[in-house]
Amino acid sequence: MITAVLPQMLCSAVLFIVVWIVLGNYVFKPFFALLEEREERTVGDEKRAVKRREEARQLQERIDTTLFQTRLRAIEQRDVKLATARAEAQKVIDEALERAHRELRAAREEIADLKVRARKQMGGEVKALSDTFVNKLLADGTSKLVH
């Protein structure tokens, strides 16, 4: 009985190996290759998406940093221009004040000169008026005294 079973077992084993090789090469290998490709696509796409998100985050950080630095430079330039404008405005104000002080001094000197001249003129006129007044008084007084 063993001898009759042995050729059947050998035939079954050979048939199993042939079926295994045929199924392995034409069914299982393509199927497993397809599964691996599918996994690579899904997992690979996820990895690429994660990588792209990280790149986008880094790019956003660079953009934010650049914007921040640009804003700082703009603020610094504005402050410099503002300081320059204030300095120029102060210079104009100082020049106007200096001119106003010079004109005020000149006006005060002119007023002082006019005052001195008026006093001199008034002094002469006062003397003339007082002489005229005294003469009139004397002239009226003598005529009244004599009358």
pLDDT digits (tens, 9 = 90+) for 11-41: 888 999 999 999 888 988 998 898 888 888 8
Average pLDDT over residues 91-102: 94
Instruction: Examine the pLDDT at 57 and tell me if it is beyond 90.
Output: yes
Q: Is the pTM of this model over 0.75?
A: no
Specify the DSSP class assigned to residue 130: H
Q: Which residues of 25-60 are buried (b: 16+ CB within 10 A; e: fewer)?
A: eeeeeeeeeeeeeeeeeeeeeeeeeeeeeeeeeeee
Q: How far apart are CA 77 and CA 126, in angstroms?
A: 71
Instruction: Examine the pLDDT at 143 and tell me if it is beyond 60.
Output: no
